[in-house]
Structure 1
Amino acid sequence: MTSITPFAAGSFDTRETSRMFVEMRKASQVLERQMATGLRSDTYSGLGFERRTALDLRAKLTAFESYGETVTSANLRLKVMTGAVQSLEKIASDTRSAAAEPLSGIVDGSGVPQEQALARNNLAFAVEILNTDVNGRHVFAGRASDTRPVAAYQQIFADLRAAVAGVADPTDPNQIVQAVSDYFDTTAWRPAGSETTTPMPTTADARASVLARIDEGQSVAIGARADEPGFRNLLVALGSLAAADETQLSQEDFAALSSRVSDLLSSSRPQPRDVAMDLGRAQATINATKERQDASASLLREALDDVELVSTEEAAVSLLNLQTRLQASFQTTAMLSRLSLVNYL
């Protein structure tokens, strides 16, 4: 048999008052937490309808952060590459200038002309530059960045000397240059595992060997290969001067070879500076994209702050008002609880 709870006058008001106190206390705790953390809520569900907005904003910011890491890595790579290519361009410029000057007539103890000795040093330096790596990744190796793109200088020099020794007339600058050019058309100067193609890659092929995705639907070509035209022409020029048999060449022969080398390094042919220009354009594109992304990310963070953060000053005012109301309610309730007919009279 179901019993009926006795009705007492004022019991409903008492329950409502208790419920009101509980709700006000909960609201007070929320405001205290907001003041301590500066957050509207500790969970996304606590944001109510704004949780979807917060999640969307955070997803976009995460994407920008991911692209930012790629941009940072690409900028480091381009910085190293630009410095290396500038060094190669200086070698080309110095060699071009020296080729236009009369021979010094100075030879070392082995009978090697000063200009030829310099070419050998520059060839060794160029090989070292083309094997530059960043954190173990070779920047002039195209896709095969874990492998040195160029063999050791000693091997290349020995191969070139052998190639030049095999020409019909070791004093003919055209035959010397052709022998050296043919050598750099092969893969003999490339270590096993390096990226090689036949015929040699175009400038566009070399750039496209490494792509950096810096934004949604936007990638920048930042690749380079040691065997691309701008570098290959320099190697052929230096190799021709370095590998010529000094015991076979007169000063007139070496002057003629220098003139031929100067033609190889003329502005009408691909040069390291062309690579530097490509890298500069890639750098400009990356920087412009980064500036735009930084500006967009700043706006997204402001919007996210509006959703997730709370003003501690406003929370403090609200908490003070709530505490004042709560105190007044407690006092009123306490006074009403002490009322009796005797007190009333």
Structure 2
Amino acid sequence: MFQIGTGDHAQSLMLRRTGSSLRQTVSRLTAELASGQNSDKPRALGGNLLELANVEHGLALSAQHATSARLAVTFLEAQQNVADQIGQITERVSLDLRTSAQASGKLAMADAGERAKAGFEDAIGLLGTKIAGRHVFSGVAGDQRPFATPDDILGAVAASVPPNASPTDIKDHVTAWFAEGGPFESVAYTGADAAANATALGDGHSVRFDVTGADKGIRDSLAGLALGALAHTLEPGLDLSDMRNLLSAGANSLSASADQRIAMQARIGAQEARAADGLARAEARAASLQIIRTELLEADPYETATALESATQRLDALYLVTARLSRLSLTEYLR
């Protein structure tokens, strides 16, 4: 069998190096032909990478703004959904209180108050909604729950009702308790006074998260539910007429709360629309920049195919030369 001598070792290494280089070239050109993109960016751009760098920076910013906008949309949608559900609770409880106020016995009225309490508990539970690990109604303190427990809140409201209070007195007490500067802010609401930080959407646009659990649209709804719940808590000290008047006051309070809640939802909706517009702009900008990037790195298919064919032929020729130099044949092996 033919043996490669010491003097042929350099030639063997050269053939291996050439083969490796050609195989890499064939692999690169095959990938470029399949993707339509030059893999060697400096070569494709003649060494001028500034425009490509600007485009890729713009793509990174657009992706960041799109992510921020999606999170903002999700956050605001969650707030809107909670407000919708609280609206449904207040409408249901308001109708229940108004109907139960016509009952002939205190027991039926007290049961309506208990259902109002359940509505209050449901509302507090909804207001504890979290998105991406942050409570949506806690303002800048998103890591904190926005409210104390329903029992603690209703207990504090009931405990501070003046002795021998009339239904009107009770209503005024609840209204003052939930008003700005009242015990609501120190006992019930545990979130931050400041709204969550605004989110930049690019091109000077931003979206704000102005609504917190301390918003009047929420206070008024909770106040109406708490007023109805007191019909159950204070039932032993109230006569039939007082119970009827208290239930009616709760129903009226819940009906009146709709105006502030709808105004709050309108503010949320305005920011929701800004976030959606910001997302659309970021996605459109990203699409435009991606087209520019594709054009910058576009590989001519005919040129690439010709270069691939040439590289393949050279590789085939190299294999043939290597085989001949090494005398890799059955005849030579059998000698």
TM-score (ref. length: structure 2): 0.73
2:170 to 167, 176, 201: 176
Matched, 1:142 2:139: yes
RMSD: 3.2
Rounded to whole Å, the distance in 2 between the matches of 1:156 and 1:243 is 12
The answer (yes or no) to whether the contact 1:233–1:270 under 8 Å persists in 2 is no
Rounded to whole Å, the distance in 1 between the matches of 2:255 and 2:63 is 44
Q: Alpha carbons of 1:32 and 1:160: their partners in 2 closer, same or farther (altered >3 Å)? A: closer
Rounded to whole Å, the distance in 2 between the matches of 1:281 and 1:159 is 35
**Number of residue pairs matched by the alignment:** 285
Q: Alpha carbons of 1:259 and 1:112: their partners in 2 closer, same or farther (altered >3 Å)? A: closer
Rounded to whole Å, the distance in 1 between the matches of 2:245 and 2:169 is 12
Rounded to whole Å, the distance in 2 between the matches of 1:44 and 1:54 is 10
Rounded to whole Å, the distance in 1 between the matches of 2:282 and 2:125 is 37
Partner secondary structure for residue 146 of structure 1: coil
Any residues of structure 2 matched to 1:47-66 within 5 Å, and which?
A: 47-48=45-46, 50-66=48-64
What percent of counterpart residues are identical? 22
Rounded to whole Å, the distance in 2 between the matches of 1:30 and 1:54 is 24
Rounded to whole Å, the distance in 2 between the matches of 1:116 and 1:57 is 63
Partner secondary structure for residue 247 of structure 1: helix
Rounded to whole Å, the distance in 2 between the matches of 1:33 and 1:120 is 70
Rounded to whole Å, the distance in 1 between the matches of 2:128 and 2:23 is 66
1:228 to 215, 228, 231: 215
The answer (yes or no) to whether the contact 1:220–1:282 under 8 Å persists in 2 is yes
- Using the TM superposition, give the Cα deviation of residue 60 of structure 1 relative to its aligned residue in structure 2, in angstroms: 0.7
Rounded to whole Å, the distance in 1 between the matches of 2:23 and 2:154 is 82
Q: Note the residue ranges of structure 2 that are not aligned, 5 or more in a row.
A: 1-20, 314-335
Counterpart amino acid of 1:294? Answer: E
Rounded to whole Å, the distance in 2 between the matches of 1:289 and 1:173 is 50
The one-character-per-residue Cα deviations of 1:229-252 (angstroms, maximum 9, x if unpaired) are 001011111111212411222332
Partner secondary structure for residue 88 of structure 1: helix
The answer (yes or no) to whether the contact 1:142–1:225 under 8 Å persists in 2 is yes
Matched, 1:103 2:102: yes
Partner secondary structure for residue 206 of structure 2: strand
The answer (yes or no) to whether the contact 2:30–2:308 under 8 Å persists in 1 is no
Please identify, of 231-240 and 245-254, the stretch whose mean Cα deviation from structure 2 is larger: 245-254
Question: Where does residue 279 of structure 2 map in the other structure?
Answer: 290
TM-score (ref. length: structure 1): 0.72
Any residues of structure 2 matched to 1:52-131 within 5 Å, and which?
A: 52-101=50-99, 102-105=101-104, 113-131=110-128
The answer (yes or no) to whether the contact 2:83–2:265 under 8 Å persists in 1 is yes
Counterpart amino acid of 2:275? Answer: I
Partner secondary structure for residue 68 of structure 2: helix
Matched, 1:217 2:204: yes
Higher RCO, Cα 8 Å, sep 6+: 2
Rounded to whole Å, the distance in 2 between the matches of 1:107 and 1:72 is 51
Matched, 1:237 2:224: yes
The structure with the largest helix share of the pair is 2
User: Rg larger in 1 or in 2?
Assistant: 1
Rounded to whole Å, the distance in 2 between the matches of 1:149 and 1:302 is 46
The one-character-per-residue Cα deviations of 1:213-268 (angstroms, maximum 9, x if unpaired) are 22231111134211210010111111112124112223322232233334433458
Please identify, of 95-104 and 285-294, the stretch whose mean Cα deviation from structure 2 is larger: 95-104
2:267 to 269, 278, 284: 278
Partner secondary structure for residue 188 of structure 1: helix
Q: Alpha carbons of 1:46 and 1:30: their partners in 2 closer, same or farther (altered >3 Å)? A: farther
2:151 to 149, 154, 158: 154
Counterpart amino acid of 1:308? Answer: L
Rounded to whole Å, the distance in 1 between the matches of 2:45 and 2:154 is 71
Counterpart amino acid of 1:98? Answer: D
Rounded to whole Å, the distance in 1 between the matches of 2:216 and 2:154 is 20
The answer (yes or no) to whether the contact 2:26–2:312 under 8 Å persists in 1 is no
Partner secondary structure for residue 189 of structure 1: helix
Question: Where does residue 15 of structure 1 map in the other structure?
Answer: none
Q: Alpha carbons of 1:28 and 1:236: their partners in 2 closer, same or farther (altered >3 Å)? A: closer
The answer (yes or no) to whether the contact 2:120–2:150 under 8 Å persists in 1 is yes
The one-character-per-residue Cα deviations of 1:155-182 (angstroms, maximum 9, x if unpaired) are 1121111112x24x32x22211222233
